[in-house]
A and B are shown apart, each in its own frame.
Chain A
Amino acid sequence: MENKNTILSVKDLCKYFPVYGKGFFTRITGYIKAVDNISFDLFEGETFGLVGESGCGKTTAARTILRALSPTAGRVIFKTGDTVVDLASMPENLLKSFRPKMQMIFQDPFSSLNPRMTVGNIVGEPLVIHKMAKGRQLTDRVKQLLARVGLSSEYINRYPHAFSGGQRQRIGIARALIMYPSLIIADEAVSALDVSVQAQILNLLMDIQDEFNLTYIFVSHNLGVIRCICDRVAVMYAGRIVEMAATEELFRNPLHPYTKALLSAIPYPDLDIKLNAVLTGETIDLAELPHGCNFESRCPYRTTDCLCCVPELKKVDDNHFVACLLKN
């Protein structure tokens, strides 16, 4: 990336879900800190990966950025053209005009398409909602987009059930593209697909990125997919970003103990790289987070200091940030 124009800047974003006590007059007894103080900048035209295990908050983070969920705290500065806005604090009624600029592709191509709507209606709906096209013009745009994602324009009157998983995901991509967004959040967009189809969709996503000048936030648990498509990666654990670096740097030189463990647990289709299950135990309960580092209970390198304070995400190298006391 030569041009480092920041398109989105997330600052201290938090999303807490309240936990209610028992009884008739329910009281809030605690919070699940699904996303806890995450910050990062997103540059124009790049693919930023959010990776982590289930429950680490990657999907919640993505949805909070888009204001599909309202953030508890923090700012999301979004730049579109010459306007700079804070999505996190914007009132609902003003949000609508910014929605076309940010779109989402979902994981499950079976539940993300309405079975009662035709493909044409699904893909064209955003244009109708924003009153940007109708009639012949609408149909033409839909056909054009379907063709771009590799679907025949004859499919326009068919229903989603007639399509395979890969084709449905293409429909989902066409729907996201039709508003010519600048930011697309792909939430596990290829996880439900077979490997051969997964590769086709990844290729498509890479192709349209240049063509439509898109910036991606790519959420995935699959480190192979992340390594293939992302320019930079943030590793999340229990609601926090523990490490952030350029993809190649992260895979070559992981610094956080969790990242190291995660990378060593990937089963490679290579007989010379042996699997190494270093991590014992499971992810901690988000309702009962410790005072110090969230990873302390599973960390092989923990010291008594790790119990006391939360490690901050600190710069260790150009474009490499890590949140670990041992590395600071």
Chain B
Amino acid sequence: MIDNKDYVLTIDGLKTYFEVDHSVVKAVDDVSLKIERGKTLAIVGESGCGKSVTAYSILKLIQKPGKIIGGKIVLYPSNGKAINISELNERSELLYHVRGGYISMIFQEPMTALSPVHTIGNQICEAVLLHSKTKISRKCAEEMAVEMLNKAGMPNSQARIRQYPHEISGGMRQRAVIAMAMITNPELLIADEPTTALDVTIQAQIIELMKKLQNEYRTAIMLITHDFGVVAQTADEVAVMYLGNIVEQASVREIIKNPMHPYTIALLGSLPGIGRIGKRLAPVRGSVPDPLRRPQGCTFHPRCEYAEKGLCDVGLIPGLEEVINGHKVACRRVKEIRKNGK
């Protein structure tokens, strides 16, 4: 362990690049993160910022033309040796247990995450049978599935395990996916936009369910989302990503109450409907640039209100630096922005 905190996963200098048309898209470029046991880390950003690629890289699920070209990912199970995922062979037995056993994943669209030709029960049992440390019977696995579905708030779960995904609603499907992810009692749950496809009342139910299960199993959650509302309601730590880099990282309280990076400030400013009606919003100007033509210097400078010529548009991408207690910002002008207020 690096410091006195109990980490479940550490990522150090992760780089995942995609080679397209003889040029390279740096989808994730030098990202370092640590996730504490039993806590929730949220990764926030707009589409194309590399938040999902980071998650897929942890499970080594990057497909061609993508490639993890650097970085170290280490998993620390609560009992047992640390596992260096980045060095695991593609076909190793251990990687097989990391995926689905130690680390589970929930996807955005529950219909595409479930097999349409297998029953719910079948699919949940499969996870148990594949990853259980002791040999268990099919019947026993089925009982576990029913119990887990009950915990996931699925009404009438005894009957549900005989049903196919198309027979149940979107909210119920997401409950089934969560049951499937949690049944192996994973160390880390990666949730990629778990509530984006759901209605707001169902979303609230799913958020509460995930919190409840997290408390019960002490699972760490890596929540990938674009919604600051969901972040504020669930996360402990937040990392804001822009064009493959983390631009700001802090506790949720710090991010919401005291955002420092111009991008985070702008993102929070562009949220509609908080206390203002009929007034113009303050959006980020322009749009996310083509990842093949990343701007020089700070990648955010063409859209930044505070950008300074000769400072922000030259040199390398600014690195994350700690400003105050655990609040890290990647901006060359952060001191002046803080001093002059927002």
Residues of A participating in the B interface, judged by any CB pair closer than 8 Å: 53-54, 164, 166-167, 194-200, 202-203, 206, 221-229, 231, 247-248, 261-262, 264-271, 274-277, 279-280, 282-283
A267-B203, A279-B205 known, 18 other contacts, Cβ within 8 Å: A195-B270, A199-B271, A200-B285, A203-B283, A221-B199, A224-B229, A227-B273, A227-B277, A267-B227, A268-B232, A269-B228, A269-B231, A269-B232, A271-B253, A277-B205, A282-B169, A282-B171, A282-B202
Question: What is the chain B residue whose CB lies nearest that of A277?
Answer: B204
B200-224, CB < 8 A from A: 200-205, 207-208
Q: Which of A167, A224, A280: most chain B CB closer than 10 A?
A: A224
Contact of B256 among A54, A195, A222, A271 (CB under 8 A): A271
With A269-B271, A269-B274, A275-B207: A196-B230 Cβ-Cβ less than 8 Å: no
Mark interface residues in B64-90 (1 if CB within 8 Å of A CB, else 0).
Answer: 000000000000000000000000000
Query: Taking the complex as formed, is B233 at the interface, i.e. its CB lies under 8 A from any CB of chain A?
Result: yes
B residues 242-295 near A (Cβ < 8 Å) are 252-253, 256-257, 266-274, 276-285, 287-288
Q: Which residue of B lies closest to A264 (CB)?
A: B204
Please determine whether A268 and B229 come into contact, CB atoms closer than 8 angstroms.
Answer: yes
B270 to chain A: closest residue by CB: A199
- Quick check: is B226 within 8 A (CB to CB) of the other chain? yes
Query: Which residues of chain B are near A202, meaning CB under 8 Å?
Result: 272, 281
Contact A261/B201 with A196-B267, A227-B272 known, Cβ cut-off 8 Å: yes
**B200 touching A268 by the CB < 8 A rule?**
no
Given the known interface contacts A225-B272, A277-B201, A282-B169, the answer about A195 and B46 at a Cβ–Cβ threshold of 8 Å is yes
Which of A206, A226, A276, A279 touches B273 (beta carbons < 8 Å)? A226
Query: Is B47 interfacial (CB 8 A cutoff)?
Result: yes
Determine if B229 and A266 form an interchain contact, defined as CB atoms under 8 angstroms apart: yes
**Given A194-B226, A195-B46, A203 and B281 contact (CB-CB distance below 8 Å):** yes
Residue of A nearest to B255 (CB): A269
Residues of B contacting A53 with CB < 8 Å?
199-202
CB-defined contacts of B208 to chain A, threshold 8 Å: 275, 277
Chain B residues contacting A264 (CB-CB under 8 Å) are: 204
Contact B202 A195, beta carbon cutoff 8 Å: no
Say how far B113's CB is from chain A's closest CB, in angstroms.
Answer: 19
The docked-state distance in angstroms from the alpha carbon of A107 to that of B59 is 34
What's the least CB distance linking B237 to chain A, in Å? 14
Chain B interface residue count, Cβ-Cβ cutoff 8 angstroms: 47
How far apart sit A95 and B282, CA to CA, in the bound complex (Å)? Answer: 40
In the complex, chain A residues whose CB is within 8 Å of the CB of B276: 228
How far is B16's CA from A29's CA once the two chains are assembled, in angstroms? 56
Q: Which residues of B from 275 to 334 have beta carbons under 8 Å from A? A: 276-285, 287-288
- Of chain B, the residue at the smallest CB distance from A224 is B273
Q: Which residue of A lies closest to B275 (CB)?
A: A227
With A268-B232, A269-B231, A271-B232 as contacts: A248 and B277 at CB distance below 8 Å: yes
CB distance from B201 to the nearest CB of A (A): 5
Q: List 7 A-B contacts (CB under 8 A).
A: A196-B283, A197-B46, A200-B285, A267-B227, A269-B274, A270-B232, A271-B256
Distance, CA A223 to CA B229, complexed state (A): 12
Chain B 163-200 interface mask (CB, 8 Å, partner A; 1/0)? 00000010110000000000000000000000000011
CA distance A175 to B20 in the complex (A): 34
In Å, the complex CA distance between A224 and B274 comes to 7
Q: Which residues of chain B (43-77) have a CB below 8 Å from chain A?
A: 46-47
| Alpha-carbon distance A283/B169, docked complex (angstroms) | 10
Q: A231-B278, A262-B200, A282-B171 are in contact. Are A198 and B273 (CB under 8 A)?
A: no
Which of these, B47, B203, B233, B252, contacts A194 with CB under 8 Å? B47
- Nearest CB in chain A: distance from B205 CB, A: 5
Min CB distance, A58 to chain B, in Å? 12
CA–CA, A266 to B230, complex, Å?
A: 9
CB-CB under 8 A from B273, the residues of chain A are 222-228
CB distance B203 to A265 under 8 Å?
yes
Q: Choose one: A200, A227, A271; the contact of B283 (CB below 8 Å).
A: A200
Whole-angstrom CA separation of A277 from B169 in the bound complex: 18
Q: Is the CB of A268 within 8 A of B227?
A: no
Q: Are B256 and A269 in contact (CB under 8 A)?
A: yes
Chain A residues positioned under 8 Å from B281 (CB to CB): 199, 202-203, 228
| In contact, A271 and B252 (Cβ under 8 angstroms) | yes
Residues of B within 8 A of A195 (CB): 46, 226, 228, 267, 270-271
Contacts of A196 in B (CB 8 A): 46, 266-267, 270, 283-284, 287
Whole-angstrom distance between the Cβ of A55 and the nearest chain B Cβ: 9
A268 contact set on B, CB distance < 8 A: 229, 232-233, 274
| Contact between chains at A265 and B287 (CB < 8 Å) | no
Question: Is the Cβ of B201 less than 8 Å from the Cβ of A269?
Answer: no
- The listed residue with most A CB atoms (<10 A of its CB), out of B204, B269, B279, is B204
Q: How far is the CB of A13 from chain B (nearest CB, A)?
A: 23
Nearest residue (CB) in A for B209 is: A277
Least CB distance from B155 to A in Å reads 8
| A270 partner, pick from B200, B256, B267, B278, beta carbons under 8 A | B256
Closest 3 CB pairs of A and B: A224-B273, A199-B283, A267-B229
Q: Which residues of B contact A267 (CB under 8 A)?
A: 203-204, 207, 227, 229-230, 232-233
Whether A197 contacts B287 in the complex (CB less than 8 A), given A202-B272, A279-B201, comes out as: yes
The CA-CA distance from A275 to B273 in the complex, in Å, is 16
| Shortest CB distance B142–A (Å) | 25
Q: How far is the CB of A103 from chain B (nearest CB, A)?
A: 22
Cβ of B77 to closest chain A Cβ, rounded Å: 31
